[in-house]
Amino acid sequence: MTASKYAIGVDFGTLSGRAVIVDVANGKELATAVHDYSNEVIDEFLPGTDIRLDPDWALQDPNDYIEVFKNAIPAVLETSGVDPGDVIGVGIDFTACTMLPTKADGTPLSFLPEWRDNPHAWVKLWKHHAAQPEANQLNEIARLSGFGAILDRYGGKISSEWFFPKAWQILDEAPEVYAAADRLIEAADWVVWQLTGEETRNSCTAGYKAMWSKSEGFPPPAFFKALDPGLENIVDEKMKREIMPLGARAGGITSQAAGWTDLKEGTAVAVANVDAHVAVPAATVTDTARMVMIMGTSICHMVVGESEEIVPGMCGVVQDGILPDLPGFEAGQSCVGDHFQWFVENCVPESYENEARQKGLNIHELLEEKAAAQKPGESGLLALDWWNGNRSVLVDVDLTGMMLGMTLLTRPEEIYRALIEATAYGTRLIIETFNQNNVPIKELIATGGLPDRNKLLMQIYADVTGLPIYVPEATQIGALGSAMHGAVAAGAANRGYDSIVEASLKMARLRDESYQPNAENKALYDLLFKEYVTLHDYFGRGDNDVMKRLKELKSEVINS
């Protein structure tokens, strides 16, 4: 019997990067290491300057990503004791769209003294929202100039968070930076470039964030010209038309990257991937009808289908976007865990905090304990989960929260439970929308932070949707998924795998415990969901646009 082989996954988050090293044979995690970005999220002053950023800005320093390679990879090698010669592949996943301008050799403009003081030279993080004017114009012009069908692949709207609004903002506000940028690139692809010396572009970010489709490619120059003549040739001038499928080998570790990481030169590196998408095979899903929910402050809903369908309100459909040779669908709820966090920060009385302290619980645990004693419908409350707008299926950031049914006897745990239920109704509506559009969903796999933190929430989701929910064994699901893609990049010839389906079969597992829907609760939630849908449509589909009018009035009053 030969020695074990290993793969490393590196998951780049919003505040830190995490590396894991896993056994290729079974996915078992041997070591994990986290490295925090020293410049974190840059949203007040440009580092080392007194240049103040506008409120919607969110930048990062690309050097922080290199530091993750330099620190976290050696750390997992050392902790695990694995011989770098037994590491067959490396994969990475990243937040997206997180993008930056570079020179032709990959040097970020922000590294160059002549551009360092220009905010547009830095990485625009996924949650940089200052390109909203460009996004609004893009959506309007696309419809007017005959490119509306492209938008339909994205629920009807391109987000300000995505690639072209961000690129266009550079052109609008800093044309000199735009001109100096030889390349505009996802940070995901950029870090792979730093490891391999090869500029590659992956099908996931290209498809979900940059309007690329496998059959049609990028939108044509005429589309970009309609936005701004300066953008006409953006793809040919600043990007790449060759898009590589997930799991493909981007290249091998360079001698410089070997110095950073202690890995062997030539070790296979997979093309980049996105945190939510890479989680799908790591959650055991390589086929249709099983939806993966990455549940945290928000929920990403990921599923693959048989055929490329236009599903209203989804975030995107991309052939090869999640798994090879299948259309990947992404939908999302923009505010889930955030509801509960808002609630505990703003609405929980002191007596509950005291009770939690006495019982040695955190406040979420106390509320969960109290809320678990209620039956569906017992509170008489119903809420719309729109505290941060609605992504799927309405795609409307101007919607706001609603709750009704309160009486003088309503207790905090009832409100807390109503907020959980509201987010579950939101997920059910997304599932039903997929089902009605030829993308069937038969079971749910939940990962992210929430499944481990709130069992009541998981049971409510099972009861509301009527679907069983399974939970993957791995807690570092993104990093595992990246390591799996590293093993595929290495290939079976190098003791890895030739497909992500095989890798998933061997390296990913579910826990024994699962959440099965309770039929009695389901029947009650069917009644409540019907009420939810009526109110969802009344407030969300134009019967009464009171939420938008109030938001407009609010903005007028604040600015007056």
Helix (H, G, I), strand (E, B) or coil at 535: helix
Residue 398 Cβ, how far from a second copy at the closest point, in Å? 10
Judged by CB under 8 A, does residue 56 bind a second copy? no
With the CA atoms of 168, 170, 176 and 177 taken in that order, what torsion angle do they form, in degrees rounded to the nearest 10?
-120
Which member of 13, 230, 296, 377 binds a second copy (CB under 8 A)?
377
| Host H or E run for residue 67 | helix 62-80
Give least dist CB 23 to a second copy, A.
41
Phi/psi for 304 (5° steps) reads -110, 150
End-to-end distance of the chain based on CA atoms, in angstroms?
76
Is residue 549 within the footprint of a second copy (CB under 8 A)? yes
Scanning 36-44, 71-79, 470-478, 535-543 for contacts with a second copy by CB under 8 A, the matching segment is: 535-543
Q: Is the peptide bond before 10 cis (omega within 30 degrees of 0)?
A: no
CA 366, 367, 372, 374 torsion: positive or negative?
positive
- Give one word for 284, left, alpha or beta, with left for phi > 0 and alpha for psi -120 to 50: left
Site for a second copy in 104-123 (CB under 8 A): none
Comparing CB distances to a second copy, the nearer of 387 and 434 is 387
Instruction: Confirm or reject binding of residue 345 to a second copy (CB under 8 A).
Output: yes
List the one residue from 2, 54, 360, 408 that touches a second copy (CB under 8 A). 408
- Residue 347 in contact with a second copy, rule: CB under 8 A: yes
Residue 35 or 339 having the CB closest to a second copy: 339
Other CB atoms within a 10 A radius of the CB of residue 357 amount to: 12
**Position among 273, 388, 433, 465 found at the interface with a second copy (CB under 8 A):** 388
Q: Give least dist CB 49 to a second copy, A.
A: 29
501-530: which residues touch a second copy (CB under 8 A)? 524, 527-528
Number of residues that bind a second copy (CB under 8 A): 53
3-state secondary structure of 170: helix
Q: How many CB atoms lie within 10 A of CB 32?
A: 21
Q: What tokens appear for 185 in the block?
A: 């690139």
376 in contact with a second copy (CB under 8 A): yes
- Give 31-48 as a 3 state SS string: EEEEEECCCCCECCECCC
The reply to whether 353 sits near a second copy by the rule CB under 8 A is yes
Residue selected from 173, 342, 475, 505 as contacting a second copy according to rule CB under 8 A? 342
Q: Does 403 bind a second copy (CB under 8 A)?
A: yes
Q: Which is nearer to a second copy, 144 or 550 (CB)?
A: 550
Count Cβ neighbours within 10 Å for each residue of 462-475 and write b for 16 or more, e otherwise.
Answer: bbbbbbebbbbbbe
- Least distance from C-beta 352 to a second copy, angstroms? 9
Q: How far is the CB of 418 from a second copy (least distance, A)?
A: 11
Rounded to an integer, what distance in angstroms lies between the CA atom of residue 4 and that of residue 2? Answer: 7
Sheet containing 123-124: order of strands: 59-60, 123-124, 99-102, 183-186
Residue (115 or 387) nearer to a second copy, CB: 387
Burial of 137 (C-beta count, 10 Å sphere; 0-12/13-18/19+): middle
Of 379 and 476, the one with the shorter C-beta distance to a second copy is 379
349 belongs to the binding site for a second copy (CB under 8 A): yes
| Beta carbon of residue 53, minimum distance to a second copy (angstroms, whole number) | 19
Among residues 167, 171, 174, the alpha carbon closest in space to that of 235 is found at 167
Interatomic CA distance for residues 41 and 39, integer angstroms: 6
Q: How many CB atoms lie within 10 A of CB 502?
A: 16
Helix (H) or strand (E) holding 372: helix 363-372
Choices 70-78, 193-201, 242-250, 540-548; region in contact with a second copy by CB under 8 A: 540-548
**β-pair partners for 7:** 22, 89
Distance CA 26, CA 376 (A): 41
Locate all alpha helices (DSSP H) within 466-518, ordered by sequence.
477-490, 500-507
Rounded to the nearest angstrom, the gap between the alpha carbon of residue 28 and the centroid of all alpha carbons in its chain is 24
Does 359 engage in binding with a second copy (CB under 8 A)? no
Shortest reach from residue 189's CB to a second copy, in Å: 32
Position among 147, 260, 387, 425 found at the interface with a second copy (CB under 8 A)? 387
Query: Is the Cβ of residue 254 or residue 334 nearer to a second copy in the bound state?
Result: 334
Using CA atoms, how far apart are residues 498 and 485, in angstroms rounded to an integer?
A: 10
**Contact code string over 27-46 relative to a second copy, x by CB under 8 A:** --------------------
Residue 406 binds a second copy, judged by CB under 8 A: yes
Per rule CB under 8 A, is residue 373 in the interface with a second copy?
no
Binding residues for a second copy restricted to 189-208, rule: CB under 8 A: none
Q: Judged by CB under 8 A, does residue 534 bind a second copy?
A: yes
Which residue number, 311 or 381, has a Cβ lying nearer to a second copy? Answer: 381
Binding mask 301-340 for a second copy (x = CB under 8 A): ----------------------------------x--x--
Q: How far is the CB of 338 from a second copy (least distance, A)?
A: 6
Tell me the window of 405-413, 464-472, 477-485, 506-514 that interacts with a second copy (CB under 8 A).
405-413
Using the structure block, give the residue that is written with the tokens 């499928």. 245
Positions touching a second copy (CB under 8 A) are 335, 338, 342, 345-350, 353, 375-382, 384, 387-388, 400-408, 410-412, 415, 524, 527-528, 531, 534-535, 538-539, 544, 546-547, 549-551, 553-554, 556-558
